[in-house]
Amino acid sequence: MKISYYPGCTLKNHAKNFEDSTICSLNAIGVEVEELNRWNCCGTVFSLTTDDLIHHVAPIRNLIRVKEANYEKVMTVCAMCYNTLKRANERVKSDPESLDILNDFMDREEVQYDGDVQIFHLLEFLRDEIGFANLAQKVVKPLKKLKIASYYGCLLVRPKEIGFDDMENPTILDDLMSVLGADSVDFPFKTECCGAYQTVDKPDIIADRTNQILTSTMDQGAEMVVVSCPLCAFNLDQRQKQTVEKYPEFKHMPVMYFTQALAIALGCPEETLRFDLNFIDPKPILKEKGLI
Q: What does the binding site for ligand SF4 look like in residue numbers (CB under 6 A)?
A: 8-10, 41-42, 44, 78-81, 153-155, 193-194, 196, 229, 231-232
Binding site partner of 52, from other proteins, ligand SF4, none, Cβ cut-off 5-8 A by kind:
other proteins
The reply to whether 209 sits near other proteins by the rule CB under 8 A is: yes
Min separation Cβ 149 and ligand SF4, Å: 14
Min separation Cβ 40 and ligand SF4, Å: 8
The reply to whether 78 sits near other proteins by the rule CB under 8 A is: yes
Applying CB under 8 A, which of residues 32, 35, 38, 41 lies at the interface with other proteins? 41
Min separation Cβ 116 and ligand SF4, Å: 22
Min separation Cβ 1 and ligand SF4, Å: 24
Count Cβ atoms below 10 Å from residue 29 Cβ, excluding itself: 15
Cα dihedral across residues 71, 268, 271, 288: positive or negative:
positive
Interhelix angle 79-94/96-105, nearest 10 degrees: 110
The reply to whether 96 sits near other proteins by the rule CB under 8 A is: no
Task: Determine the Cα–Cα distance for residues 226 and 152; give it in Å rounded to an integer.
Answer: 9
Binding site partner of 200, from other proteins, ligand SF4, none, Cβ cut-off 5-8 A by kind:
other proteins
Distances (CA, A) of 247 to 203, 204, 239, 251, 280: 13, 11, 12, 9, 17
Min separation Cβ 275 and other proteins, Å: 17
Applying CB under 8 A, which of residues 211, 217, 238, 259 lies at the interface with other proteins? 238
- Are 240 and 211 in contact, with CB atoms under 8 Å apart? no
The reply to whether 29 sits near other proteins by the rule CB under 8 A is: no
CB-count burial class (<10 Å; 0-12, 13-18, 19+) for 285: middle
The reply to whether 170 sits near other proteins by the rule CB under 8 A is: no
Applying CB under 8 A, which of residues 32, 35, 52, 186 lies at the interface with other proteins? 52
Binding site partner of 238, from ligand SF4, other proteins, none, Cβ cut-off 5-8 A by kind:
other proteins
Task: Determine the Cα–Cα distance for residues 191 and 169; give it in Å rounded to an integer.
Answer: 8
- Are 204 and 244 in contact, with CB atoms under 8 Å apart? no
Binding site partner of 170, from other proteins, ligand SF4, none, Cβ cut-off 5-8 A by kind:
none
Task: Determine the Cα–Cα distance for residues 27 and 267; give it in Å rounded to an integer.
Answer: 11
Min separation Cβ 243 and ligand SF4, Å: 15
Interface with other proteins (CB under 8 A): 8-10, 13-15, 41, 43-45, 48-52, 55, 78, 80, 154, 158-160, 167-168, 191-193, 195-202, 205, 208-209, 229-231, 234, 238
